[in-house]
Amino acid sequence: MTDRTEFTRRRLLAAAGAAPLALAAGRVLAQVAEGQPMPAGVELPPLPGERMRWAIVGLGSFAIGQVIPGFGEARQSRMTAFVSGNPAKARDLGARHGVSRFYDYADYDTMRGDDEIDCVYIVLPVGLHAEYTVRALEAGKHVLCEKPMASTSAECERMIAAARANDRQLGVAYRVHFEPTNREAKRRIAAGELGAIRHVQCDHGFNANPRFPPHKWRLEKALAGGGSMFDIGVYGLNTSLMMLEGDAPVAVSAVYAYPRDDARFAEVEGGIDWRLTTASGVNLTGSSSYCYSPYVSRQRYFGASASIEMQPATTYDDNNLVMEGGGGPRREIGAGNPMTQFAAQVDGFSEAARAGRAHLTPGEMGLRDLRLIEAMYRSADAGGAVVEL
């Protein structure tokens, strides 16, 4: 039987001991209620009205599946307009994403008077890049253009000239420069973790299906500009040069590598194997193809003391980095969510445009790559002769 007096005494003692704690807690709550000062060094998201405002030109599968969702994660950028030849699709997407300004290709130039558009993202087939980029620049808008920049180096030069004449920024959407796994590979290479780079190998391709609309236009020269090297091989070329920043190409050679009687390739090349030499003597070898199955996206960087393999290397959502050598075992290195590359790319461009400085992947980079691809085609047309750059 419990002693009622002892029970009551214990409760009183416990209550008495808790009183100072309760008082202390009350003081903490009062302090919190009064509010705390802004922590130093915390980056605040910009207000919606401070973000750069974008028009998306072209609402195909890539724009809908990757570009538009990327804006949902962006901190410096927001969509305010869609440009499409399909008004119903544009308005449906607008309702989903809070976009209320719509243009078609007939009234495209009237964007000049729209103060709710700062930047334009060109997501059209390659053959239309130059025209719609120049017109947007002349309308006073900054332009981020999908890769490859244009159908010819001459078109690239015209685009760059239009940007300069109108004092606007021009960038090429080489999203891999903003993708965390590739950025980690670049960091390790720049830090010397592989030693001196000796060789780079890259392979990119897929099996083109002319009955699939997103593939169909890629097989038509007027829209595609060129073949597999324009569309998929440019990833290997541009990403490899990204990793060897500052080591300029000096020579290139190439041969065609596809069945010449394949009806799919009546207008564009279906595959090419290429070799590029840099000023320091590093050789880059690559292949690009519309005949590979399954989809191939692979980059390899061989150094004097270690190597990196990325497979897949340049996809939208599933890149991988494996490192060997350097005093450690073979190890897989994680670096972040690849999907962040889309938001990071548009935010990077917004920041550059606002500050009046060149984008990380400017028009001059797109021109360089087009000149290299044109040199590859000249070499392949000459049976693989070396073309000095």
pLDDT in tens, 200-244: 999 999 999 999 999 999 999 999 999 999 999 999 999 999 999
Whether the per-residue pLDDT at 183 is higher than 60: the answer is yes
Whether the per-residue pLDDT at 22 is higher than 80: the answer is no
Which pLDDT does position 23 carry in this prediction?
Answer: 40
Q: From the candidates 141, 147, 292, 377, which is the catalytic residue?
A: 147
Cβ-based burial of 378 (10 A; exposed 0-12, middle 13-18, buried ≥19): middle
Q: If pLDDT is split at 50, 70 and 90, which confidence band does 367 have? A: very high
Mean pLDDT of all residues in 258-281: 98
User: Which is the CATH superfamily of the domain at 177-336+363-388?
Assistant: Dihydrodipicolinate Reductase; domain 2 (3.30.360.10)
Evaluate whether 323 touches 331 at the Cβ level (below 8 Å): yes
CA distances from 286 to 42, 345, 371 (A): 44, 25, 16
Whether the per-residue pLDDT at 5 is higher than 50: the answer is no
- How many other CB atoms are found less than 10 A from the CB of residue 256? 18
Q: If pLDDT is split at 50, 70 and 90, which confidence band does 126 have? A: very high
**What average pLDDT does the chain have?**
91
Quick one: which H or E segment has residue 283? strand 283-289
Which pLDDT does position 358 carry in this prediction?
Answer: 86
Contacts of 345 by beta carbon, 8 Å cutoff, 6+ apart: 70, 144, 173, 175, 177, 178
Query: Coil, strand or helix: which one is 255?
Result: strand
Q: Do 48-176 and 177-336+363-388 have matching folds?
A: no
Mean pLDDT of all residues in 125-146: 98
Q: For residue 247, report the phi and psi dihedrals to the nearest 5 degrees.
A: -100, 95
Residue with the larger pLDDT of the pair 26 and 58: 58
Q: If pLDDT is split at 50, 70 and 90, which confidence band does 1 have? A: very low
**Candidates 1.10.150.530, 3.40.50.170, 3.40.50.720, 3.40.50.10440; CATH matching 48-176:** 3.40.50.720
Whether the per-residue pLDDT at 19 is higher than 80: the answer is no
Q: From the candidates 235, 256, 258, 301, which is the catalytic residue?
A: 235
| pTM > 0.85 | yes
Q: If pLDDT is split at 50, 70 and 90, which confidence band does 40 have? A: low
**Every domain of the chain and the residues it spans:** 48-176, 177-336+363-388
Which pLDDT does position 327 carry in this prediction?
Answer: 86
Q: If pLDDT is split at 50, 70 and 90, which confidence band does 50 have? A: confident
Evaluate whether 62 touches 92 at the Cβ level (below 8 Å): no
Q: If pLDDT is split at 50, 70 and 90, which confidence band does 328 have? A: confident
Look up 147 and say whether it is catalytic: yes
Q: Percent helix, strand and coil across the chain, each rounded to 5?
A: 45, 25, 30
Q: If pLDDT is split at 50, 70 and 90, which confidence band does 334 have? A: confident
